[in-house]
Amino acid sequence: MQLHHPKELRAAESGASLSLSDSSKSDELQVGSHNNKIDSIVNKQNRQLSLRKYIKRSGAAYISSSNKKLELDRALTRFIIKDIQPLSIVDDTGFADFVRTLDPRYPMPSRRHLRDVLLDKAYNNTVGHIYDILRPIKFIAITFDGWTSRTTQSYLVITAHFLLDSGLAVVTLAVQPIQSRATSKNLKALVNSVLSKFPGVSVMCAVTDCGSNMIQTCELLKMRNMPCAAHKIQRIVVIAIAKTESFLDAKKEENLLEGLFVDDEYDAITHNESVSVYAVIAKLKKIATFFHHSSSANRLLEQEMAKRGQQPMKLMQPCKTHWNSLFYLLESAQKIGDPLYQVLYQCDKWELKLNLAEEHLIPQILRILKPFVTATTKLSGDSYPTINLVIPTTKQILVDLENLQRTEENDLFEAGDTIKVTGDECVKIESRDALRFLEDIQTLTKERMMEYEIRTITGISTILDPRFKKHAFVSEGNYRTMAERLKEELKAEIVAANTRMRAERSDISISRPTKKGEYTFLDEVRTRTYTDSTIHTTAQAIVHLNNYMEEPLLGEQDDVLAYWTNYKACDPLRDIALRYLIVPASSVPSERVNSTAGNTITDKRARLSPSLAERLIFLNENFKFLKL
């Protein structure tokens, strides 16, 4: 056709009706006038449609039961869970166009289907996964913490900590809306309702903050309670800072200091005739607030720092739930230095500038607070054992504070000099206000942190840390008390192990005579059997503990869990160590979940109900661990 009848072929492909007579009469002029138009039509129709365009034009879609449709539904659900996206995203036209471009055959589910079917299925599957993981686990430790959103809806977060494949694992058991007051009785019911889903596990300890309702909840649940070490440090630091201000009432100093994080009502100039740690922080908080609200001041600060060859940075904003934000506020002011005060002059905020005495005090405050920042960071981890670090960390803090008082080799800090608080350089604590602050924080540390040396969980776990053993205790008497408790617990563990061993070996039953034996002298021996076995068990416990204590200390970087997992000398001692080491030193894991909840529930786009927020946050927190 192309060779012998090209004009007829073109006309047919163009849709025009062309008879044989018409075609024979058509001349070169007619053909030439339409040649370009016909060629373009032929080229368009001869070009094969892509599969994507064909699907789009035909309107074909995956059937609801197809594997591809189900796979894409799961991918969309993971996207919503992992990034905590609002469910309304499926109604957004831009997102719908994007998905349609990726795969025109995929019909996105409605918001209702996503909420009631896909998320519900993911939630049930996740609960099932956690149940399967915890089924062979004998002991767990939990943390729980409450949080109230801006809409006054309260939530209780519960996390579980346990050993899995020779490592520590953390899962979020629940994010429960609290429908009534957060009393100990109501919290007990919530915790019980969650733990009842996992009947095979025993709770080794519950780590909470120091709130009275949390402590009473553990008492009602008949659980061991461990006060969060990070909260203890928080209270020590904020009270010590408040004590440096003379006008503060000692009974209200904690509440007054917390107000420093959220308002600027305190006037450091009128209330403070001399320099104090509280006054310096209050003034820096005002400076940070000014820069936070002024874009022009931030631009000037960037320009001033660029002139001096400094990398641009901003003052850190304090957060009342994290005391170390005060440390980073001081540290950022110290690093920025002169450009900060230069901008204050340019913006006519000269009254906020720190005087030389206040500038001189900043590096001393940083030096005093540095051990507490290190301790807070170390004790807040959840991927390694931390309960065994509470007593050694406390001792190290006290040693560092004592060294600051005794050190005479430190160079004097001159006004205008800069220091690196994270390096090996030291700053001499020489000002009267800094020395008072140092004494107060040292006294508070001894009062509030030394209690961990007489708590069974922290005491025994420290002895069973082969890097520290008895050397981490400040008090020798506290160590001996904890060692005695460990010996009794090891003895009970050995008795239980022997009982299980005898039960396993008693496959062949031995018949015992019902009549009184002929050899009556054996009756007294039989009555002494239990006492003799008890004495033997005590001796075993002492021998095993002595053997362990006589071993050389491990290095600080050695893996404690690996040591006890591979420990073969005494299985009962190994079991005790692994049972204690699962307990976290702080309730920070549950607080992290609360932070996620805060970011999610207060998102205006999300518009989540409490029950839906509970499920979405629960799924998000367990996403990485379960590899959904």
- Asked, for residue 106, whether it belongs to a domain, the answer is yes
Name the pTM for this structure.
0.79
283 and 350 part of one domain? yes
Burial of 237 (C-beta count, 10 Å sphere; 0-12/13-18/19+): buried
Q: In the numeric block, which tokens belong to residue 77?
A: 């659900």
**Same-domain status, 334 and 185:** no
Average pLDDT over residues 372-377: 94
What's the number of domains the chain is made of? 3
Count H helices and E strands in the chain, helices first: 28, 5
In percent, how much of the chain has pLDDT > 70? 75
Residues 402, 443 contacting (CB under 8 angstroms): no
35/87 same-domain check: no
User: Tell me, what's the pLDDT at 531?
Assistant: 47
> CA geometry: angle at 233 spanning 232 and 237, to 5°?
120
- Of 425, 454, 483, the last residue of a domain is 454
DSSP string, 548-589: HHHSPPPPTTS-HHHHHHT--S-HHHHHHHHHHTTS-SSSHH
Q: Are residues 80 and 133 in the same domain?
A: yes
Residue 510 has pLDDT above 70, yes or no: no
For the chain, percent of residues with pLDDT exceeding 90: 41
Within a domain: residue 216?
Answer: yes
Looking at per-residue pLDDT, the higher value among 44 and 595 belongs to 595
607 — pLDDT class (breaks 50, 70, 90): low
pLDDT at 5 over 60: yes
Look at residue 408 in the predicted model and tell me its pLDDT. Answer: 42
Distant-in-sequence, close-in-space partners of 533: CB < 8 Å, separation ≥ 6: 495, 498
Do 170 and 37 lie in one domain? The reply is no
Domain end: 454, 477, 498, which one? 454
Rounded mean pLDDT of 406-427?
A: 46
Instruction: Check whether 253 has a pLDDT greater than 80.
Output: no
User: Do 259 and 335 sit in the same domain of this protein?
Assistant: yes
| Domain finish residue from 399, 423, 454 | 454
Within-domain flag for 542? no
Residue 518 lies in a domain: no
- Region 110-134: mean pLDDT is 91
Do 289 and 356 fall into the same domain? yes
Q: Which of 18-22, 100-104, 406-410, 546-550 has maximum average pLDDT? A: 546-550
Residue at 129 is within a domain: yes
- Tens digit of each residue's pLDDT (9 = 90 or more) over 178-201: 888 888 999 999 999 999 988 888
Q: Say if CB 208 and CB 143 are below 8 A apart.
A: yes
Q: What local confidence, expressed as pLDDT, does residue 96 receive?
A: 92
The better pLDDT of the pair 260, 348 is held by 348
Q: Reduced to 3 DSSP states, what percent helix, strand and coil does the chain have, rounded to the nearest 5? A: 60, 5, 30
**Chain-wide mean pLDDT for the chain?**
81
252, 257, 261, 262: CA torsion to nearest 10:
30
The 10s digit of each residue's pLDDT in 564-584 is 999 999 999 999 999 999 999
Are 282 and 139 in a shared domain?
A: no
Higher pLDDT, 457 or 6: 457
Burial of 245 (0-12, 13-18, 19+ CB in 10 A): buried
Give residue 603's domain range.
Answer: 64-227+587-628
Residue 281 and residue 344 share a domain: yes
Q: Which two tokens stand for residue 556?
A: 């600080």
User: What is the distance between the alpha carbons of residues 583 and 591, in angstroms, rounded to a whole number?
Assistant: 16
Question: What does DSSP assign to residue 498?
Answer: H
pLDDT of 467: 95
Judge whether 147 lies within some domain.
yes
Judge contact between 332 and 353, C-beta under 8 A. no
Q: What is the DSSP string of 535-555?
A: HHHHHHHHHHHHHHHHSPPPP
pLDDT of residue 596: 63
204-223, pLDDT tens digit by residue? 999 998 888 999 999 999 99
167 and 270 assigned to the same domain: no
Q: Are residues 305 and 363 in the same domain?
A: yes
Residue that wins the pLDDT comparison between 496 and 257: 496
pLDDT digits (tens, 9 = 90+) for 149-164: 666 778 889 999 999 9
Work out the average pLDDT over 317-338.
86
Q: Is 218 exposed, middle or buried (0-12, 13-18, 19+ CB in 10 A)?
A: buried
Is the domain of 251 the same as that of 399?
Answer: yes
For 514-539, what is each residue's pLDDT tens digit? 556 666 666 665 555 444 455 588 88
Largest CA distance in the chain: 139
Task: Please indicate, yes or no, if residue 292 is contained in any of the structural domains.
Answer: yes
| Residue 508: per-residue pLDDT | 45
Residue 154 falls within a domain, yes or no?
A: yes
